Amino acid sequence: MYAFRPSGDELTCDDVALAAIAASVGTPTYVYSAATLRERIAALHAGFGDYPHALHYALKANSNLAVVRVVRAAGGFVDANSGAEIEVALRAGCVPADIVFTGVGKTPAEIDRAVALGVKTINAESAGELERIAAAARRHGTVAPVALRVNPDIASGSHPHISTGLVTHKFGVPITKARAIVREAAAHAELRFVGLHVHIGSQMVGLDPLRRAATAVIGLAQELHDDGISVEHLDLGGGLGIAYDDESVPPLDAYAAALVDIVRPSGLTVVVEPGRAVAGPAGALLASVVDVKPRGDGTWFVVLDAGMSELLRPALYGAYHRIEAVTARDGAPVPCDIVGPICESSDVFGVGRSLPAPTVGLVVAVLDAGAYGSAMSSNYNRHALPAEVMVDGGAWRVVRRRQTVEEQLMCEE
């Protein structure tokens, strides 16, 4: 069930009034539903059924410790995209075997740490990186489990900035070169080739590109098998979209079942790395109206205390988020653009919207902001990193308090 729903005059998160959270913690504040995180992990597991699979939640979407702990307890492992995300996963209770390490530009220190820890798989991005992983494994006297990320030259159909599977994109190695690269790297005694990896983009609302990518890596796995190299798993990345507006998006279980249909004849374990599809609908950003002013054309600007420094997606991708008042108000809807306070003309959350009687102090919820929301927030204009709240079992608690100016300045001279 969608967590952010009205109850009487109040918009709630799992029946906890968002207005009460805003009154207590202030705004901007992210609110997360633990129940939604659990439900979405459970739906994915159900879709895979008894087919061998592993869910590695993509930490880049939202790596708040409390979020990661809920996901882990629900049976999700993690996909880390940096050394720091590996450390977050460990602090959240993951063990190295729970961690897949991905990333287009791994530093020598990150590779060294991942090898020393013995993470489940390092998804390598190039022949050179495989060499560096082998060298690190040699130094540590160990064997590193690796997969090669391949670029299948398949269009995801989503926004160009979140498409990653064409040869013009920087990710992975062209699939046409992969067989030779794996054959060469597999000769290293310090590498164990456990998988192939593909991730062609994010916010995909159709399953066809995902099916095509899976088919491409299965073909490659077969070729490698013919060469005497048998991988154990296919890491099919993340990428399933969510309904930010009225898009029709395949449900989680249908997505999982579609992947199983393709992979089953190979018998290989499926690894997936969903981020947005797990965390997106589980979060909302609460913000307060700080100004309302006429545009001169009969419509209004409604200015919030949160902008692109708290939620970058609208400015970065022109992304759409529903925005609703957290308390029902009498009065005719007012046509408006809902904007942030940052000194950039791209700092706009919603154009051509309407809000009921917007006045200073009104609290609104920017919905479906659980993924790539807080994780992409910044100190631009010296905004504090926002507070974060977890709603769980009818209660709520602050899981990250609002940053202070002193904390922002702590690393400066």
Known catalytic residues are: 343
Indicate whether 277 belongs to the interface with ligand PLP (CB under 6 A): yes
Phi/psi region, residue 157 (left: phi>0; alpha: psi -120 to 50; beta: rest), is left
Cα–Cα distance for residue pair 322/168, rounded to 1 Å: 33
Both tokens assigned to 79? 């996909």
Phi and psi for 226 in degrees, rounded to 5? -60, -30
Q: How are beta strands 233-235 and 191-197 bridged, if at all? A: parallel
Reported as type and span, the H/E element at residue 135 is helix 127-140
Instruction: Report in angstroms how near the CB of residue 220 gets to ligand PLP at its nearest.
Output: 17
Indicate whether 172 belongs to the interface with ligand PLP (CB under 6 A): no
Figure out which of the listed residues 152, 275, 283, 314 binds ligand PLP, where binding follows CB under 6 A.
Answer: 275
Q: Residue 152 or residue 238: which is nearer to ligand PLP going by CB?
A: 238
Both tokens assigned to 370? 């659980």
Figure out which of the listed residues 47, 274, 341, 386 binds ligand PLP, where binding follows CB under 6 A.
Answer: 274
Q: Residue 19 or residue 240: which is nearer to ligand PLP going by CB?
A: 240
Indicate whether 129 belongs to the interface with ligand PLP (CB under 6 A): no
Indicate whether 374 belongs to the interface with ligand PLP (CB under 6 A): no
Cα–Cα distance for residue pair 253/204, rounded to 1 Å: 15
Single-letter amino acid, residue 191: L
Figure out which of the listed residues 62, 64, 121, 202 binds ligand PLP, where binding follows CB under 6 A.
Answer: 202
> Facing residues of 270 across strands?
53, 234
Figure out which of the listed residues 40, 199, 353, 400 binds ligand PLP, where binding follows CB under 6 A.
Answer: 199
Q: Which residue is nearest to ligand PLP (CB)?
A: 238
**Are the CB atoms for 154 and 166 separated by under 8 Å?**
yes
Instruction: Report in angstroms how near the CB of residue 112 gets to ligand PLP at its nearest.
Output: 21
Cα–Cα distance for residue pair 47/360, rounded to 1 Å: 46
> How many residues in the chain?
413
Q: Residue 201 or residue 307: which is nearer to ligand PLP going by CB?
A: 201
Q: Give the contact letters, 47-66, x = binds to ligand PLP (CB under 6 A), - = no.
A: -----------x-xx-----
Q: Residue 172 or residue 350: which is nearer to ligand PLP going by CB?
A: 172
**Are the CB atoms for 389 and 398 separated by under 8 Å?**
yes
Q: Residue 275 or residue 358: which is nearer to ligand PLP going by CB?
A: 275
Figure out which of the listed residues 16, 62, 71, 79 binds ligand PLP, where binding follows CB under 6 A.
Answer: 79
Single-letter amino acid, residue 324: E
Q: Which residues bind ligand PLP (CB under 6 A)?
A: 58, 60-61, 79, 102, 199, 202, 237-240, 273-277, 371
